[in-house]
């Protein structure tokens, strides 16, 4: 179980780094900038979570995450220069990354005796903040605000996770269901363009 979680975490970091490269690639940014955006995108959410929890930052604890992010980022750079990728190709692993980061973040917060509701928020932070920082660096209104269900998908999943744990379901089972909820909601939102109502004050 632990080893599986570890492999999942590494994969999520790599995938997020790749999405950072795709985003940065639309701007007049040089190669170093691309690497910086990739690292921010991949490690930002978990870093903010660890700072808030006063926990040693995960990629300083274990630099494997760092290498995974840089390797995946450079691979994405090479890939994008060689073949024209369909934009949608990354939506599936991105949704997977969101699901993994969110539930993992909630799990870590709960292990540190954080109130369950705050823990669900820290899970959302883990899943979402990397992308928000990425978009802020690129000087855009963060995608999480204007696109199809994203943060909402993440939060729904973590609330399901907390509810299942509260009902006595085993951790691995609850995590699996919660990840499925996040991934399923996000994929459905992309497929059928489901959005929350946009809120504009009069």
Helical residues (DSSP H) of 53-170, grouped into ranges: 58-61, 64-82, 91-111, 116-137, 143-146, 151-166
Nearest to a second copy of 172, 191 (CB atom) = 191
Q: What is the CB-side half-sphere exposure of residue 94 using CA atoms within 13 A?
A: 23
Nearest to a second copy of 168, 197 (CB atom) = 197
For the chain, state the CA radius of gyration.
16
Nearest to a second copy of 85, 170 (CB atom) = 85
Q: C-alpha 200: how far from its chain's center?
A: 27
Give the three-class secondary structure for 117: helix
The residues binding a second copy (CB under 8 A) are: 21-22, 24-34, 36, 39, 47, 51-54, 56-57, 59-60, 63, 66-67, 77, 80, 84, 114-115, 117-118, 121, 132, 136-142, 144-146, 149-152, 155, 195-202
From CA 16, how far away is CA 65, in angstroms rounded?
A: 11
For residue 151, the minimal CB distance to a second copy (Å) is: 4
For residue 41, the minimal CB distance to a second copy (Å) is: 14
For residue 122, the minimal CB distance to a second copy (Å) is: 8
For residue 168, the minimal CB distance to a second copy (Å) is: 22
């Amino acid at each position: 179980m632990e080893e599986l979680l570890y492999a999942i975490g590494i994969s999520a970091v790599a995938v997020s780094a790749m999405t950072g490269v795709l985003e940065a690639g639309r701007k007049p940014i040089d190669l170093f900038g691309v690497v910086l955006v990739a690292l921010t995108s991949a490690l930002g959410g978990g870093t903010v979570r660890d700072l808030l929890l006063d926990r040693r930052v995960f990629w300083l604890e274990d630099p494997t995450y760092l290498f995974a992010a840089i390797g995946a980022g450079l691979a994405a750079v090479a890939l994008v220069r060689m073949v024209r990728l369909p934009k949608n190709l990354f939506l599936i692993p991105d949704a997977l990354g969101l699901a993994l980061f969110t539930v993992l973040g909630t799990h870590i917060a709960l292990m540190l005796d954080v109130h369950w509701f705050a823990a669900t928020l820290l899970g959302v932070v883990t899943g979402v903040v990397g992308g928000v920082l990425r978009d802020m660096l690129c000087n855009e209104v963060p995608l999480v605000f204007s696109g199809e269900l994203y943060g909402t998908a993440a939060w729904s999943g973590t609330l399901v996770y907390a509810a299942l744990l509260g009902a006595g379901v085993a951790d691995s089972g609850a995590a699996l269901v919660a990840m499925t909820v996040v991934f399923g909601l996000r994929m459905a939102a992309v497929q059928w363009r489901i959005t929350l109502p946009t809120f504009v004050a009069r």
